[in-house]
């Protein structure tokens, strides 16, 4: 619901309020937090007059009572009265860089605003969603900004995107255009970011705000292993279950910046958007530019409450297509079983053994095309390697289908090897800068997706492979960051557009594919989890979470990922031991118990397992099929997080509250501490619940006394299912 009254805008979700007002021609944000049922006279919420701040300019001539550092500005600009981090800056035809956006009008509509050409959260017919457009204009430069908000009342989330319009008769260059900028009238927060590296993605880091700027960013062309376009601000004493938390996420798959500036006057400015580094967007008269969509949520139920809002919104209104609401197939991938050393006979052997465990999808990974026997060549030459596959992909797929299994394929469509027929035919199709030797990553270059002919080549490649319908799954990989980012087309003026235009080209291809092949399951991947973001989730409902498949490491990685993203989005595989990344040995049961909460898969040669482990796999696959509805669509409560503890405990509750799953993992045995009592959350106090053995417990017992977690051995796991007893 959106209310406009007395120059104030009140954006209401079920449990939150976001309030803005026009003051002195400027648009200010005044409040974001727990819902206010009735907003008082807006004058009471405006900045209070006080002593003059001599270091800051006055906003109105002759009025020294209010300076810019008193104001919480909704979309601040560079060069005028606000001297803090701006959301927008531009260079105009006369060389000046001053913009002063002033309020020029608004429009309220029912339904969801969709940023053109970009992924976004969407609304369905029965959703309670309304949108607000606020128009800001600079009277001198004739630049305008349309701030587009959409309020998801039932989901407790607000999305926003900005459209910049050139209403003048001269071109200007946008140098910075963030999607969200929000000033909070306090700064005593902690900040959580999701940081890491290859094989240890999205490790939560929590730190108190300090004076100055704290931010995360990517300049790698992708969102990266190292930092994620998410951050949260929370009370210093907030934990999983209590305290106020603000969460911010950018639905974007390229260079980003996200951070907070804390000033000396107790104001914290939160912001997120496209990274302005190497971003210059020439806007001709009459043209417009649209920023990626940002999502903000507020919870007074701690970090867990914030996470559950993101999870439900992204599961139901960011992911889409036929696989959004149905159980996805259990798969086996040959990569860690064979790497490049395989042939048709070996793949069929893996598939036949997997079929015995009721695994449903056989995925052929890297090495099936061109002359590919290692990392040194053939990317871009998407034709079968007949030395390995004499009957081609179609012949292999038909044999896999005859086993009663679906067939899937690994591809890296955005890449080209220097040693490839594609590169020899089109050496200028890669991102490069003339006269400079390109830097290789994994012996490969990045195709220039800003070029229409390159995008059409990729589309036609998929049309050739998917057109016959024998491929049911594509693992879309992207294994390197971008360097020497330039395009052979467009000239000098276009080079500042390349990073963002690349992402727009990527989205165009993905949109084409998911519409043309709605029954193909696409899984995103980028050297593991380097592009685990909302942009990819709009096209691909699951993403390979990390190349690190060790059960213990995955507890940390999946925990950090779940701060913002749902378990339904996490590709999670069981692999061989000793693990190929960290060389740790963990029991088959624990490897399965860690993976079963995500999208379950196997990445090993099942034919090498002993009978006990093979039986364990069969039990895991059966349990996954029975419980995945709860794991993927229910509410998550992180009862004990792995960071700082020798154990981790997650609780999943079905939407109807009839099934509760408690997953406990012992990371390290602790002598002298034989057990812990972990209290469950979210149950009905007066209801009774029975576990697998038939023992009954009341809801208030489970929430107030809890369940026992034993520390008697290393690397132990247990999954307990409670069913509500119907009276």
H, E, C per residue of 17-68 = EEEEEEECCEEEEEEEEECCCCCCCHHHHCCCCCCCCCCCCEEECCEEEEEH
Give the residue carrying structure tokens 């030459």.
381
What are the tokens at 147? 């701030």
Angle, vertex CA 431, rays to CA 425 and CA 436, nearest 5: 95
CATH class of 647-724: mainly beta
Q: What is the structure's pLDDT at 266?
A: 86
What are the tokens at 660? 């509760």
Residues 6 or more apart in contact with residue 66 via CB below 8 angstroms: 24, 47, 49, 58, 59, 60
Parts of the chain belonging to CATH 2.60.40.1180: 647-724
Q: What is the structure's pLDDT at 57?
A: 57
Q: What is the structure's pLDDT at 46?
A: 75
Parts of the chain belonging to CATH 3.20.20.70: 331-544
Residues 6 or more apart in contact with residue 663 via CB below 8 angstroms: 593, 597, 649, 650, 651, 652, 717, 718, 719
Question: How big is the chain by its Cα radius of gyration, in Å?
Answer: 27
Q: What is the structure's pLDDT at 65?
A: 55
Contact 9, 3 (CB under 8 A): yes
Residue 127 — very low, low, confident or very high, per pLDDT cuts 50/70/90? very high
- Examine the pLDDT at 184 and tell me if it is beyond 90: yes
Query: What is the model's pTM?
Result: 0.96
Residues 71-90, buried b or exposed e (16+ Cβ, 10 A)?
bbbbbbbbebbbbbbbbbbb
Fold of 2-317: Beta-galactosidase; Chain A, domain 5 (2.70.98)
Residues 6 or more apart in contact with residue 9 via CB below 8 angstroms: 2, 3, 19, 20, 21, 106, 132, 134
- Examine the pLDDT at 64 and tell me if it is beyond 60: no
Distance CA 303, CA 587 (A): 31
pLDDT, average across residues 607-614:
97
Residue 63 — very low, low, confident or very high, per pLDDT cuts 50/70/90? low
pLDDT digits (tens, 9 = 90+) for 651-667: 999 999 999 999 999 99
Q: What is the structure's pLDDT at 310?
A: 98
Distance CA 322, CA 489 (A): 38
Clarify whether 156 is annotated catalytic.
no
- Which of 45-54, 110-119, 598-607 has the lowest average pLDDT? 45-54
Residue 726 — very low, low, confident or very high, per pLDDT cuts 50/70/90? confident
pLDDT mean across residues, the chain: 94
Query: Which of the following is catalytic: 477, 548, 605, 635?
Result: 477
Contact 695, 674 (CB under 8 A): no
Distance CA 702, CA 687 (A): 10
Which helix (DSSP H) or strand (DSSP E) does residue 194 occupy? Answer: strand 189-195
Alpha carbon of 577 to those of 341, 582, 603, 617: distances in Å? 19, 10, 11, 14
Contact 196, 218 (CB under 8 A): no
N residues, the chain: 727
pLDDT, average across residues 566-580:
97
pLDDT digits (tens, 9 = 90+) for 16-57: 999 999 988 899 999 999 999 887 777 777 765 555 555 555
Parts of the chain belonging to CATH 2.70.98.60: 2-317
pLDDT, average across residues 545-560:
98
Distance CA 146, CA 105 (A): 10
pLDDT digits (tens, 9 = 90+) for 304-334: 999 999 999 999 999 999 999 999 999 999 9
Distance CA 680, CA 661 (A): 10
Q: What is the structure's pLDDT at 55?
A: 53
Q: Which CATH architecture has domain 331-544?
A: Alpha-Beta Barrel (3.20)
pLDDT digits (tens, 9 = 90+) for 665-698: 999 876 666 678 999 999 999 999 999 999 999 9
Query: Which of the following is catalytic: 547, 593, 635, 676?
Result: 547
Clarify whether 477 is annotated catalytic.
yes
Q: Which residues pair with 647 in a beta bridge?
A: 666
């Amino acid at each position: 619901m959106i209310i406009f009254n007395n120059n104030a805008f009140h954006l209401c979700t079920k449990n939150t309020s976001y309030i803005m007002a026009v003051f002195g021609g400027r648009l200010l944000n005044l409040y974001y937090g727990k819902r206010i049922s009735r907003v008082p006279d807006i004058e009471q919420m405006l900045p209070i007059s006080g002593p003059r701040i001599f270091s800051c300019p006055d906003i109105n001539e002759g009025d020294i009572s209010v300076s810019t550092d008193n104001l919480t500005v909704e979309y601040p600009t560079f060069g005028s009265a606000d001297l803090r981090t701006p959301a927008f800056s531009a260079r105009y035809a006369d060389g000046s860089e001053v913009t002063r956006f002033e309020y020029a009008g608004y429009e309220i509509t029912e339904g969801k605003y969709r940023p053109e050409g970009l992924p976004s959260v969407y609304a369905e017919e029965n959703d309670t969603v309304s949108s607000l457009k606020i128009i800001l204009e600079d009277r001198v430069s004739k630049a305008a900004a349309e701030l587009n908000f959409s309020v998801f009342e039932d989901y407790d989330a607000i999305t926003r995107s900005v459209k910049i319009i050139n209403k003048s008769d001269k071109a200007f260059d946008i140098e910075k255009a963030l999607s969200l900028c929000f000033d909070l009238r306090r700064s005593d927060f902690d900040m959580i970011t999701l940081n890491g590296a290859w094989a240890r993605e999205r490790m939560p880091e929590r730190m108190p705000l300090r004076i100055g700027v704290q931010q995360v960013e990517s300049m790698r062309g992708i969102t990266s292993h190292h930092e994620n376009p998410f951050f949260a601000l929370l009370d210093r004493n907030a934990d999983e279950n209590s305290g106020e938390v603000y969460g911010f996420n950018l639905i974007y798959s390229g260079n980003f910046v996200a951070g907070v500036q804390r000033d000396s006057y107790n104001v914290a400015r939160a912001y997120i958007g496209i990274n302005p580094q190497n971003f210059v967007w020439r806007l001709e008269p009459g043209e417009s530019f649209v920023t990626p969509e940002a999502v903000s949520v507020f919870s007074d139920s701690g970090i867990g409450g914030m996470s559950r809002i993101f999870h439900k919104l992204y599961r139901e209104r960011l992911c889409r297509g036929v696989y959004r609401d149905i159980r996805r197939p259990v798969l086996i991938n040959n990569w860690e079983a064979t790497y490049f050393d395989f042939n048709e006979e070996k793949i069929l052997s893996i598939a036949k053994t997997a079929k015995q465990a009721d695994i449903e999808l056989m995925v052929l990974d890297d090495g099936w095309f061109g002359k590919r026997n290692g990392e040194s060549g053939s990317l871009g030459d998407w034709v079968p390697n007949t030395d390995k596959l004499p009957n081609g992909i179609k012949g292999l797929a038909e044999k896999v289908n005859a086993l009663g299994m679906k067939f899937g394929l690994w591809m890296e469509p955005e890449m080209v090897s220097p040693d490839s027929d594609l590169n020899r035919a089109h050496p200028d199709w890669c991102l490069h800068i003339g006269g400079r030797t390109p830097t290789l990553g994994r012996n490969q270059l990045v195709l220039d997706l800003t070029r229409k002919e390159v995008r059409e080549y990729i589309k036609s490649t998929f049309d050739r492979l998917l057109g016959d319908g024998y491929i049911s799954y594509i693992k879309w990989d992207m294994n390197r960051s971008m360097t020497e980012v330039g395009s052979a087309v467009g000239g000098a003026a276009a080079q500042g557009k390349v990073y963002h235009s690349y992402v727009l080209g990527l989205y165009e291809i993905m949109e084409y594919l998911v519409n043309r092949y709605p029954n193909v399951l696409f899984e995103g991947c980028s050297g593991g989890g380097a592009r685990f973001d909302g942009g990819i989730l709009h096209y691909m409902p699951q993403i390979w979470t990390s190349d690190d498949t060790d059960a213990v490491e995955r507890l940390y990685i999946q925990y950090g990922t779940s701060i913002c993203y749902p378990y339904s989005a996490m590709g999670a595989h069981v692999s061989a031991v000793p693990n190929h990344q960290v060389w740790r040995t963990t029991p088959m049961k624990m490897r399965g118990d860690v993976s079963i909460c995500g999208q379950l898969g196997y990445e090993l040669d099942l034919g090498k397992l002993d009978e006990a482990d093979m039986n364990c796999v069969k039990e895991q696959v059966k349990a996954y099929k029975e419980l995945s509805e709860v794991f993927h669509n229910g509410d998550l409560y992180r009862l004990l997080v792995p960071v700082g503890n020798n154990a981790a405990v997650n609780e999943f509750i079905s939407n109807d509250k009839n099934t509760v799953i408690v997953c406990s993992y012992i990371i390290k045995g602790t002598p002298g501490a034989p057990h812990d009592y972990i209290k469950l959350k979210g149950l009905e106090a007066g209801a009774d619940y029975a576990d697998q053995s038939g023992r009954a417990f009341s809801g208030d017992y489970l929430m107030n006394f809890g369940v026992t977690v034993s520390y008697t051995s290393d690397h132990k796991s247990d999954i307990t299912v409670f069913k509500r007893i119907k009276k």
